[in-house]
A and B are shown apart, each in its own frame.
Chain A
Protein backbone atom coordinates (compact mmCIF):
# COMPACT_ATOMS: atom_id res chain seq x y z
CA UNK A 1 0.00 0.00 0.00
CA UNK A 2 1.35 3.42 -0.87
CA UNK A 3 1.18 6.42 1.46
CA UNK A 4 -1.51 7.87 -0.83
CA UNK A 5 -3.91 4.97 -0.44
CA UNK A 6 -3.27 4.77 3.31
CA UNK A 7 -4.13 8.46 3.62
CA UNK A 8 -7.21 8.10 1.42
CA UNK A 9 -8.72 5.59 3.88
CA UNK A 10 -9.25 8.41 6.35
CA UNK A 11 -10.48 10.95 3.78
CA UNK A 12 -14.07 12.09 3.77
CA UNK A 13 -16.24 11.79 0.68
CA UNK A 14 -18.83 14.31 -0.44
CA UNK A 15 -22.37 13.22 -1.34
CA UNK A 16 -21.36 13.54 -5.02
CA UNK A 17 -18.55 11.01 -4.73
CA UNK A 18 -20.24 8.25 -6.77
CA UNK A 19 -21.15 10.76 -9.48
CA UNK A 20 -17.52 11.94 -9.73
CA UNK A 21 -16.40 8.35 -10.24
CA UNK A 22 -19.10 7.69 -12.84
CA UNK A 23 -17.96 10.62 -14.96
CA UNK A 24 -14.27 9.70 -14.68
CA UNK A 25 -12.88 12.22 -12.22
CA UNK A 26 -9.29 11.99 -11.04
CA UNK A 27 -9.72 12.19 -7.29
CA UNK A 28 -7.12 13.70 -4.95
CA UNK A 29 -6.96 14.46 -1.23
CA UNK A 30 -7.84 18.08 -0.45
CA UNK A 31 -8.57 19.59 2.98
CA UNK A 32 -9.41 16.16 4.41
CA UNK A 33 -11.72 15.20 1.53
CA UNK A 34 -11.32 13.12 -1.57
CA UNK A 35 -12.10 15.70 -4.26
CA UNK A 36 -12.09 15.79 -8.09
CA UNK A 37 -8.90 17.43 -9.42
CA UNK A 38 -10.09 17.21 -13.00
CA UNK A 39 -12.36 15.18 -15.27
CA UNK A 40 -11.58 13.56 -18.65
CA UNK A 41 -11.97 16.95 -20.37
CA UNK A 42 -8.79 18.13 -18.59
CA UNK A 43 -8.01 21.29 -16.63
CA UNK A 44 -7.44 23.63 -19.60
CA UNK A 45 -10.67 22.78 -21.39
CA UNK A 46 -12.61 22.73 -18.10
CA UNK A 47 -11.38 26.26 -17.40
CA UNK A 48 -12.26 27.54 -20.87
CA UNK A 49 -15.63 25.80 -20.84
CA UNK A 50 -16.58 27.59 -17.61
CA UNK A 51 -15.70 30.96 -19.15
CA UNK A 52 -17.78 30.24 -22.26
CA UNK A 53 -20.73 28.08 -21.10
CA UNK A 54 -21.33 26.60 -17.63
CA UNK A 55 -19.21 24.57 -15.24
CA UNK A 56 -20.52 22.46 -12.36
CA UNK A 57 -18.35 22.29 -9.23
CA UNK A 58 -18.71 20.13 -6.14
CA UNK A 59 -17.78 22.40 -3.24
CA UNK A 60 -19.43 20.28 -0.55
CA UNK A 61 -16.15 20.24 1.37
CA UNK A 62 -16.75 23.85 2.33
CA UNK A 63 -18.32 24.59 5.69
CA UNK A 64 -21.87 25.86 6.10
CA UNK A 65 -22.62 27.45 9.47
CA UNK A 66 -26.01 28.78 10.60
CA UNK A 67 -25.99 31.62 13.12
CA UNK A 68 -29.23 32.52 14.91
CA UNK A 69 -29.88 34.93 17.79
CA UNK A 70 -30.89 33.17 21.00
CA UNK A 71 -33.25 36.11 21.58
CA UNK A 72 -35.01 35.37 18.30
CA UNK A 73 -34.19 38.91 17.12
CA UNK A 74 -31.95 38.75 14.02
CA UNK A 75 -30.42 42.15 14.81
CA UNK A 76 -28.87 40.63 17.94
CA UNK A 77 -27.12 38.09 15.75
CA UNK A 78 -26.01 40.91 13.41
CA UNK A 79 -24.46 42.84 16.28
CA UNK A 80 -22.77 39.68 17.57
CA UNK A 81 -21.33 38.90 14.13
CA UNK A 82 -19.93 42.43 13.90
CA UNK A 83 -17.73 41.58 16.91
CA UNK A 84 -15.92 38.97 14.79
CA UNK A 85 -16.24 40.47 11.29
CA UNK A 86 -15.13 44.00 10.27
CA UNK A 87 -17.97 44.26 7.75
CA UNK A 88 -21.48 45.73 7.81
CA UNK A 89 -23.73 42.91 8.99
CA UNK A 90 -26.40 45.13 10.55
CA UNK A 91 -27.05 46.81 7.21
CA UNK A 92 -27.22 43.60 5.17
CA UNK A 93 -30.78 43.17 3.96
CA UNK A 94 -32.81 39.99 3.95
CA UNK A 95 -31.99 37.93 0.87
CA UNK A 96 -28.57 39.52 0.41
CA UNK A 97 -25.06 38.16 0.77
CA UNK A 98 -21.74 39.85 1.55
CA UNK A 99 -18.04 38.87 1.52
CA UNK A 100 -16.16 39.09 4.79
CA UNK A 101 -13.42 37.65 6.96
CA UNK A 102 -12.87 36.53 10.52
CA UNK A 103 -9.94 38.52 11.87
CA UNK A 104 -7.31 37.47 14.40
CA UNK A 105 -6.31 39.47 17.49
CA UNK A 106 -3.21 40.51 15.56
CA UNK A 107 -5.28 41.83 12.65
CA UNK A 108 -4.64 38.89 10.33
CA UNK A 109 -7.26 36.77 8.61
CA UNK A 110 -8.48 33.61 10.35
CA UNK A 111 -10.70 32.77 7.37
CA UNK A 112 -12.56 34.52 4.59
CA UNK A 113 -16.23 33.74 4.05
CA UNK A 114 -19.59 34.57 2.53
CA UNK A 115 -22.38 35.71 4.83
CA UNK A 116 -26.04 35.63 3.75
CA UNK A 117 -29.04 37.10 5.55
CA UNK A 118 -31.80 34.48 5.27
CA UNK A 119 -34.37 36.36 7.33
CA UNK A 120 -34.41 34.26 10.49
CA UNK A 121 -30.68 33.40 10.50
CA UNK A 122 -27.35 34.12 8.86
CA UNK A 123 -25.64 31.48 6.73
CA UNK A 124 -21.84 31.54 6.65
CA UNK A 125 -19.93 29.64 3.96
CA UNK A 126 -16.36 29.07 5.16
CA UNK A 127 -13.24 27.42 3.74
CA UNK A 128 -12.93 23.64 4.08
CA UNK A 129 -9.53 23.79 5.75
CA UNK A 130 -10.74 26.35 8.31
CA UNK A 131 -14.21 25.12 9.17
CA UNK A 132 -13.32 23.53 12.51
CA UNK A 133 -11.28 26.58 13.57
CA UNK A 134 -13.98 28.97 12.38
CA UNK A 135 -16.72 27.12 14.19
CA UNK A 136 -14.70 27.03 17.42
CA UNK A 137 -13.92 30.74 17.08
CA UNK A 138 -17.58 31.65 16.52
CA UNK A 139 -18.80 29.48 19.40
CA UNK A 140 -16.26 31.08 21.69
CA UNK A 141 -16.88 34.66 20.57
CA UNK A 142 -20.65 34.80 20.01
CA UNK A 143 -21.94 31.52 21.46
CA UNK A 144 -23.61 33.31 24.36
CA UNK A 145 -25.76 35.51 22.15
CA UNK A 146 -26.20 33.10 19.24
CA UNK A 147 -26.60 29.47 18.32
CA UNK A 148 -23.78 28.53 15.95
CA UNK A 149 -24.45 25.28 14.13
CA UNK A 150 -22.81 23.49 11.22
CA UNK A 151 -25.36 22.64 8.51
CA UNK A 152 -24.94 19.18 7.01
CA UNK A 153 -25.75 19.81 3.34
CA UNK A 154 -24.03 19.40 0.02
CA UNK A 155 -22.89 22.52 -1.86
CA UNK A 156 -22.60 22.71 -5.62
CA UNK A 157 -21.68 25.69 -7.79
CA UNK A 158 -22.77 26.38 -11.35
CA UNK A 159 -20.56 29.04 -12.91
CA UNK A 160 -20.29 30.72 -16.28
CA UNK A 161 -22.32 32.81 -18.72
CA UNK A 162 -24.64 29.84 -19.35
CA UNK A 163 -25.33 29.24 -15.64
CA UNK A 164 -28.61 31.17 -15.41
CA UNK A 165 -30.15 29.45 -18.43
CA UNK A 166 -29.11 25.99 -17.26
CA UNK A 167 -30.13 26.40 -13.62
CA UNK A 168 -33.40 28.26 -14.19
CA UNK A 169 -34.79 25.19 -15.96
CA UNK A 170 -34.71 23.42 -12.60
CA UNK A 171 -34.96 26.38 -10.19
CA UNK A 172 -36.91 29.12 -12.02
CA UNK A 173 -36.44 31.63 -9.17
CA UNK A 174 -32.76 32.08 -10.04
CA UNK A 175 -33.59 34.11 -13.17
CA UNK A 176 -34.92 36.88 -10.89
CA UNK A 177 -31.78 37.04 -8.78
CA UNK A 178 -28.90 39.45 -9.17
CA UNK A 179 -25.28 39.24 -8.01
CA UNK A 180 -25.06 38.48 -4.26
CA UNK A 181 -28.76 37.69 -3.83
CA UNK A 182 -29.60 34.74 -1.57
CA UNK A 183 -32.91 32.83 -1.72
CA UNK A 184 -34.44 29.80 -0.04
CA UNK A 185 -35.24 27.13 -2.66
CA UNK A 186 -36.69 23.65 -2.81
CA UNK A 187 -35.64 20.89 -5.20
CA UNK A 188 -37.44 17.55 -5.28
CA UNK A 189 -39.22 18.54 -2.10
CA UNK A 190 -36.02 19.26 -0.18
CA UNK A 191 -35.21 22.72 1.10
CA UNK A 192 -31.99 24.58 0.55
CA UNK A 193 -30.46 27.93 -0.32
CA UNK A 194 -29.20 29.42 -3.57
CA UNK A 195 -26.87 32.43 -3.84
CA UNK A 196 -25.79 34.25 -7.00
CA UNK A 197 -22.03 34.32 -6.52
CA UNK A 198 -18.99 32.11 -6.92
CA UNK A 199 -15.24 31.84 -7.09
CA UNK A 200 -14.53 32.08 -10.81
CA UNK A 201 -15.11 35.72 -11.76
CA UNK A 202 -18.10 34.59 -13.81
CA UNK A 203 -21.80 34.98 -13.22
CA UNK A 204 -23.09 31.93 -11.42
CA UNK A 205 -24.73 30.32 -8.45
CA UNK A 206 -23.93 28.24 -5.41
CA UNK A 207 -26.66 25.86 -4.30
CA UNK A 208 -26.81 24.29 -0.84
CA UNK A 209 -29.12 21.26 -0.65
CA UNK A 210 -29.49 18.06 1.36
CA UNK A 211 -27.28 15.31 -0.09
CA UNK A 212 -29.87 13.43 -2.18
CA UNK A 213 -31.39 16.53 -3.72
CA UNK A 214 -27.94 17.94 -4.53
CA UNK A 215 -26.98 14.75 -6.35
CA UNK A 216 -30.29 14.80 -8.26
CA UNK A 217 -29.78 18.46 -9.25
CA UNK A 218 -26.16 17.78 -10.29
CA UNK A 219 -27.32 14.88 -12.50
CA UNK A 220 -30.08 16.98 -14.03
CA UNK A 221 -27.62 19.81 -14.76
CA UNK A 222 -25.04 17.47 -16.29
CA UNK A 223 -27.69 16.13 -18.69
CA UNK A 224 -27.47 19.57 -20.35
CA UNK A 225 -24.68 19.57 -22.97
CA UNK A 226 -23.83 23.16 -21.98
CA UNK A 227 -22.86 21.99 -18.48
CA UNK A 228 -19.59 20.14 -17.82
CA UNK A 229 -18.19 18.97 -14.47
CA UNK A 230 -15.17 21.06 -13.40
CA UNK A 231 -12.47 20.00 -10.94
CA UNK A 232 -10.44 21.79 -8.29
CA UNK A 233 -7.58 22.38 -10.74
CA UNK A 234 -9.65 24.66 -12.97
CA UNK A 235 -11.34 26.16 -9.92
CA UNK A 236 -7.92 27.41 -8.85
CA UNK A 237 -6.90 28.80 -12.26
CA UNK A 238 -10.33 30.47 -12.63
CA UNK A 239 -10.13 32.18 -9.23
CA UNK A 240 -6.53 33.23 -9.89
CA UNK A 241 -7.47 34.96 -13.16
CA UNK A 242 -10.35 36.58 -11.28
CA UNK A 243 -7.85 37.92 -8.72
CA UNK A 244 -9.65 36.19 -5.84
CA UNK A 245 -7.74 35.26 -2.70
CA UNK A 246 -7.08 31.71 -1.55
CA UNK A 247 -6.81 31.50 2.23
CA UNK A 248 -3.55 29.84 3.21
CA UNK A 249 -1.83 31.25 0.11
CA UNK A 250 -2.72 34.89 -0.61
CA UNK A 251 -4.18 35.60 2.82
CA UNK A 252 -3.40 34.06 6.19
CA UNK A 253 -3.20 34.71 9.93
CA UNK A 254 -0.46 37.29 9.41
CA UNK A 255 -1.79 39.19 6.39
CA UNK A 256 -4.26 41.95 7.24
CA UNK A 257 -7.30 42.57 5.04
CA UNK A 258 -5.82 45.97 4.17
CA UNK A 259 -2.56 44.42 2.99
CA UNK A 260 -4.59 41.87 1.05
CA UNK A 261 -6.37 44.61 -0.89
CA UNK A 262 -9.68 43.72 0.74
CA UNK A 263 -10.35 47.14 2.31
CA UNK A 264 -13.37 47.51 0.04
CA UNK A 265 -15.16 44.97 2.25
CA UNK A 266 -14.70 47.17 5.35
CA UNK A 267 -17.31 49.95 5.08
CA UNK A 268 -17.08 53.48 6.50
CA UNK A 269 -19.39 52.61 9.38
CA UNK A 270 -16.78 50.18 10.78
CA UNK A 271 -13.80 52.51 10.24
CA UNK A 272 -12.50 55.32 12.45
CA UNK A 273 -15.23 57.93 12.71
CA UNK A 274 -17.99 55.46 11.82
CA UNK A 275 -20.92 54.89 14.17
CA UNK A 276 -19.90 51.22 14.66
CA UNK A 277 -16.14 51.69 14.26
CA UNK A 278 -13.88 48.84 15.36
CA UNK A 279 -15.02 46.31 17.94
CA UNK A 280 -13.59 43.32 16.05
CA UNK A 281 -10.36 41.37 16.71
CA UNK A 282 -7.28 43.16 15.41
CA UNK A 283 -9.17 46.46 14.98
CA UNK A 284 -6.24 48.53 16.22
CA UNK A 285 -3.92 47.37 13.42
CA UNK A 286 -6.59 47.20 10.71
CA UNK A 287 -8.03 50.66 11.41
CA UNK A 288 -4.54 52.17 11.56
CA UNK A 289 -3.63 50.60 8.21
CA UNK A 290 -6.89 51.88 6.71
CA UNK A 291 -6.06 55.40 7.90
CA UNK A 292 -2.31 55.46 7.16
CA UNK A 293 -1.91 52.87 4.43
CA UNK A 294 -0.38 49.40 4.83
CA UNK A 295 3.35 48.67 4.63
CA UNK A 296 2.79 46.02 1.95
CA UNK A 297 0.05 45.21 -0.51
CA UNK A 298 -1.22 42.31 -2.60
CA UNK A 299 -0.74 42.90 -6.32
CA UNK A 300 -1.40 41.24 -9.65
CA UNK A 301 1.70 40.16 -11.56
CA UNK A 302 2.05 39.40 -15.27
CA UNK A 303 5.34 37.65 -16.00
CA UNK A 304 6.66 39.11 -19.27
CA UNK A 305 7.94 35.78 -20.63
CA UNK A 306 6.20 32.43 -20.88
CA UNK A 307 7.64 30.84 -17.74
CA UNK A 308 4.99 30.34 -15.04
CA UNK A 309 5.92 32.04 -11.76
CA UNK A 310 4.53 30.07 -8.85
CA UNK A 311 3.72 30.51 -5.16
CA UNK A 312 6.82 30.99 -3.03
CA UNK A 313 8.96 32.67 -5.69
CA UNK A 314 10.92 35.60 -4.22
CA UNK A 315 10.35 39.06 -5.72
CA UNK A 316 13.17 41.56 -6.26
CA UNK A 317 13.18 45.25 -7.12
CA UNK A 318 15.85 44.79 -9.80
CA UNK A 319 17.94 42.16 -11.59
CA UNK A 320 20.86 42.94 -9.26
CA UNK A 321 19.13 43.45 -5.90
CA UNK A 322 20.40 41.09 -3.21
CA UNK A 323 17.43 41.33 -0.82
CA UNK A 324 13.99 40.04 -1.77
CA UNK A 325 11.24 42.64 -1.24
CA UNK A 326 8.24 40.35 -1.57
CA UNK A 327 7.02 36.98 -2.68
CA UNK A 328 4.53 35.34 -5.00
CA UNK A 329 1.50 33.99 -3.11
CA UNK A 330 -0.33 32.30 -6.02
CA UNK A 331 0.78 31.74 -9.56
CA UNK A 332 0.51 29.55 -12.59
CA UNK A 333 -0.83 29.61 -16.11
CA UNK A 334 -4.00 31.49 -16.95
CA UNK A 335 -5.79 29.56 -19.71
CA UNK A 336 -8.06 32.49 -20.66
CA UNK A 337 -5.14 34.93 -20.58
CA UNK A 338 -3.03 32.41 -22.52
CA UNK A 339 -0.01 33.09 -20.38
CA UNK A 340 1.48 33.05 -16.91
CA UNK A 341 -0.29 34.98 -14.19
CA UNK A 342 0.43 35.47 -10.49
CA UNK A 343 -0.39 37.39 -7.34
CA UNK A 344 2.10 38.45 -4.70
CA UNK A 345 2.87 40.88 -1.92
CA UNK A 346 5.14 43.90 -2.36
CA UNK A 347 6.08 46.94 -0.26
CA UNK A 348 3.40 49.58 -0.90
CA UNK A 349 5.88 51.84 -2.71
CA UNK A 350 6.39 49.12 -5.33
CA UNK A 351 2.77 47.94 -5.43
CA UNK A 352 1.92 50.34 -8.22
CA UNK A 353 0.50 49.19 -11.56
CA UNK A 354 3.09 49.75 -14.26
CA UNK A 355 6.07 48.99 -12.00
CA UNK A 356 8.36 46.17 -13.00
CA UNK A 357 9.65 43.65 -10.46
CA UNK A 358 11.63 40.44 -10.85
CA UNK A 359 10.59 36.96 -9.74
CA UNK A 360 13.28 34.38 -9.10
CA UNK A 361 12.52 31.03 -10.75
CA UNK A 362 15.16 28.26 -10.81
CA UNK A 363 17.91 30.81 -10.19
CA UNK A 364 16.82 33.22 -12.92
CA UNK A 365 15.24 36.65 -12.45
CA UNK A 366 12.16 37.00 -14.63
CA UNK A 367 10.64 40.44 -15.24
CA UNK A 368 7.00 40.80 -14.15
CA UNK A 369 4.67 43.77 -14.58
CA UNK A 370 2.63 44.88 -11.57
CA UNK A 371 -0.96 45.04 -12.84
CA UNK A 372 -4.38 45.87 -11.37
CA UNK A 373 -6.66 43.08 -10.17
CA UNK A 374 -8.67 41.31 -11.45
CA UNK A 375 -6.72 40.29 -14.53
CA UNK A 376 -9.91 40.14 -16.56
CA UNK A 377 -13.29 41.80 -16.01
CA UNK A 378 -15.84 39.84 -13.98
CA UNK A 379 -19.08 38.68 -15.60
CA UNK A 380 -21.32 39.33 -12.59
CA UNK A 381 -25.00 40.14 -13.09
CA UNK A 382 -25.15 43.32 -11.04
CA UNK A 383 -28.52 44.62 -12.23
Chain B
Protein backbone atom coordinates (compact mmCIF):
# COMPACT_ATOMS: atom_id res chain seq x y z
CA UNK B 1 0.00 0.00 0.00
CA UNK B 2 1.49 3.34 -1.14
CA UNK B 3 0.44 6.53 0.69
CA UNK B 4 1.44 10.19 0.51
CA UNK B 5 1.45 13.12 2.94
CA UNK B 6 0.75 16.78 2.23
CA UNK B 7 4.36 17.43 3.32
CA UNK B 8 5.53 15.44 0.25
CA UNK B 9 6.64 12.22 1.90
CA UNK B 10 5.66 8.79 0.63
CA UNK B 11 5.21 5.61 2.64
CA UNK B 12 4.94 2.01 1.43
CA UNK B 13 3.46 -0.45 3.93
CA UNK B 14 4.52 -4.11 3.77
CA UNK B 15 3.23 -6.12 6.74
CA UNK B 16 3.70 -3.82 9.71
CA UNK B 17 6.83 -2.14 8.31
CA UNK B 18 6.63 1.06 6.29
CA UNK B 19 9.38 2.37 3.99
CA UNK B 20 9.52 6.17 3.89
CA UNK B 21 11.00 8.69 1.46
CA UNK B 22 10.41 12.03 -0.22
CA UNK B 23 8.22 12.25 -3.32
CA UNK B 24 9.52 12.85 -6.82
CA UNK B 25 7.66 16.18 -6.72
CA UNK B 26 9.58 17.18 -3.56
CA UNK B 27 12.89 16.08 -5.08
CA UNK B 28 12.24 18.19 -8.16
CA UNK B 29 11.40 21.25 -6.05
CA UNK B 30 14.50 20.84 -3.86
CA UNK B 31 16.97 20.52 -6.72
CA UNK B 32 20.36 18.84 -6.44
CA UNK B 33 20.72 17.21 -3.02
CA UNK B 34 24.10 17.29 -1.32
CA UNK B 35 23.42 15.97 2.19
CA UNK B 36 20.99 13.56 3.84
CA UNK B 37 20.64 13.04 7.60
CA UNK B 38 18.76 9.90 8.65
CA UNK B 39 17.15 8.94 11.97
CA UNK B 40 18.88 6.44 14.25
CA UNK B 41 17.81 2.79 14.13
CA UNK B 42 15.71 2.20 17.24
CA UNK B 43 14.49 5.80 17.45
CA UNK B 44 10.79 6.25 18.14
CA UNK B 45 9.17 8.65 15.69
CA UNK B 46 5.98 10.57 16.24
CA UNK B 47 3.80 11.47 13.28
CA UNK B 48 4.56 15.05 12.18
CA UNK B 49 7.94 15.32 13.93
CA UNK B 50 11.18 15.91 11.99
CA UNK B 51 12.59 12.45 11.21
CA UNK B 52 15.26 13.19 8.57
CA UNK B 53 16.83 16.15 6.82
CA UNK B 54 17.58 16.57 3.12
CA UNK B 55 19.77 19.45 2.03
CA UNK B 56 20.31 21.08 -1.32
CA UNK B 57 23.18 23.49 -1.99
CA UNK B 58 20.97 26.32 -0.79
CA UNK B 59 18.73 25.00 1.96
CA UNK B 60 17.98 22.32 4.54
CA UNK B 61 14.50 20.74 4.57
CA UNK B 62 13.01 18.59 7.30
CA UNK B 63 11.41 15.30 6.31
CA UNK B 64 8.52 14.70 8.72
CA UNK B 65 7.48 11.32 10.06
CA UNK B 66 4.25 10.36 8.24
CA UNK B 67 3.31 7.88 10.97
CA UNK B 68 4.24 6.81 14.53
CA UNK B 69 6.71 3.96 14.84
CA UNK B 70 10.15 2.64 15.68
CA UNK B 71 12.94 2.95 13.10
CA UNK B 72 14.04 -0.55 12.05
CA UNK B 73 16.42 0.29 9.19
CA UNK B 74 17.95 3.32 7.46
CA UNK B 75 19.22 3.62 3.88
CA UNK B 76 22.95 4.15 4.46
CA UNK B 77 23.45 4.22 0.69
CA UNK B 78 21.26 7.33 0.51
CA UNK B 79 23.33 9.05 3.21
CA UNK B 80 26.54 8.12 1.39
CA UNK B 81 25.15 9.24 -1.95
CA UNK B 82 22.60 12.06 -1.40
CA UNK B 83 22.29 12.52 -5.16
CA UNK B 84 20.37 9.21 -5.33
CA UNK B 85 17.59 10.71 -3.19
CA UNK B 86 17.20 13.43 -5.77
CA UNK B 87 17.36 11.21 -8.84
CA UNK B 88 15.35 8.18 -7.59
CA UNK B 89 13.45 9.40 -4.50
CA UNK B 90 10.75 6.75 -4.69
CA UNK B 91 13.14 3.88 -5.44
CA UNK B 92 16.82 3.58 -4.50
CA UNK B 93 16.57 6.90 -2.67
CA UNK B 94 14.24 5.69 0.11
CA UNK B 95 15.24 7.03 3.55
CA UNK B 96 14.23 4.72 6.42
CA UNK B 97 11.85 1.97 7.58
CA UNK B 98 9.60 2.05 10.65
CA UNK B 99 7.55 -0.58 12.47
CA UNK B 100 4.10 1.00 12.42
CA UNK B 101 2.49 1.21 15.87
CA UNK B 102 -0.89 2.65 14.86
CA UNK B 103 -2.04 1.55 11.38
CA UNK B 104 -5.19 3.69 11.71
CA UNK B 105 -2.96 6.75 11.08
CA UNK B 106 -2.72 5.59 7.44
CA UNK B 107 -6.36 6.51 6.93
CA UNK B 108 -5.54 10.22 7.00
CA UNK B 109 -2.95 9.96 4.19
CA UNK B 110 -3.47 10.37 0.43
CA UNK B 111 -3.36 7.65 -2.17
CA UNK B 112 -1.44 8.11 -5.43
CA UNK B 113 -4.35 9.71 -7.32
CA UNK B 114 -5.17 12.11 -4.48
CA UNK B 115 -1.50 13.15 -4.16
CA UNK B 116 -1.14 13.79 -7.89
CA UNK B 117 -4.24 15.97 -7.73
CA UNK B 118 -2.82 17.72 -4.63
CA UNK B 119 0.46 18.73 -6.34
CA UNK B 120 -1.42 19.62 -9.52
Is A206 at the interface (CB under 8 A from chain B)?
no
CB-CB under 8 A from A307, the residues of chain B are 35, 37, 55
Bound Cα distance from A306 to B34, whole angstroms: 9
Closest to A232 in B: B58
Closest to A334 in B: B57
State which of A39-47, A212-220, A255-263, A369-377 sits at the interface with chain B.
A39-47
CB-CB under 8 A from B56, the residues of chain A are 43, 333
**Which residues between 283 and 315 of chain A lie within 8 Å of chain B, taking CB atoms?**
306-308, 310
Bound Cα distance from A310 to B31, whole angstroms: 17
CB-CB under 8 A from B58, the residues of chain A are 43, 233, 236-237, 332
Bound Cα distance from A43 to B30, whole angstroms: 10
Instruction: Verify B37–A44 contact, CB threshold 8 A.
Output: no
CB-CB under 8 A from A210, the residues of chain B are none
Contact flags (1/0) for A13-52 with B, using CB distance below 8 Å?
A: 0000000000000000000000000100011110100000
What total of chain B residues lie within 8 Å of the partner, measured CB to CB? 12
Instruction: Verify B34–A308 contact, CB threshold 8 A.
Output: yes
CB-CB under 8 A from B57, the residues of chain A are 43-44, 47, 233-234, 237, 332-333, 335
Is B74 at the interface (CB under 8 A from chain A)?
no
Seen from chain A, the residues whose Cβ lies within 8 Å of a Cβ on chain B are 38, 42-45, 47, 233-234, 236-237, 306-308, 310, 332-333, 335, 340, 362
Instruction: Verify A333–B31 contact, CB threshold 8 A.
Output: no
Instruction: Verify B31–A42 contact, CB threshold 8 A.
Output: yes
CB-CB under 8 A from B60, the residues of chain A are 308, 310
Instruction: Verify B31–A233 contact, CB threshold 8 A.
Output: yes
Instruction: Verify A333–B35 contact, CB threshold 8 A.
Output: yes
Whole-angstrom distance between the Cβ of A51 and the nearest chain B Cβ: 14
Secondary structure at the B interface, as helix, strand, loop or mixed, is strand
Is B53 at the interface (CB under 8 A from chain A)?
yes
Seen from chain B, the residues whose Cβ lies within 8 Å of a Cβ on chain A are 31-32, 34-35, 37, 53, 55-60
21 chain-A/chain-B pairs, Cβ below 8 angstroms: A38-B31, A42-B31, A43-B31, A43-B56, A43-B58, A44-B34, A47-B57, A233-B57, A236-B58, A237-B57, A307-B55, A308-B34, A308-B35, A308-B55, A332-B57, A332-B58, A333-B34, A333-B55, A333-B56, A333-B57, A340-B35
Whole-angstrom distance between the Cβ of A177 and the nearest chain B Cβ: 31
Whole-angstrom distance between the Cβ of B119 and the nearest chain A Cβ: 13
Bound Cα distance from A47 to B35, whole angstroms: 17
Whole-angstrom distance between the Cβ of B53 and the nearest chain A Cβ: 7
Bound Cα distance from A340 to B55, whole angstroms: 11
**B31, B34, B35, B60: residue with the most chain A Cβ atoms closer than 10 Å:** B34
Instruction: Verify B32–A43 contact, CB threshold 8 A.
Output: yes
CB-CB under 8 A from A340, the residues of chain B are 35
Bound Cα distance from A233 to B37, whole angstroms: 22
Bound Cα distance from A38 to B30, whole angstroms: 11
Closest to B53 in A: A362
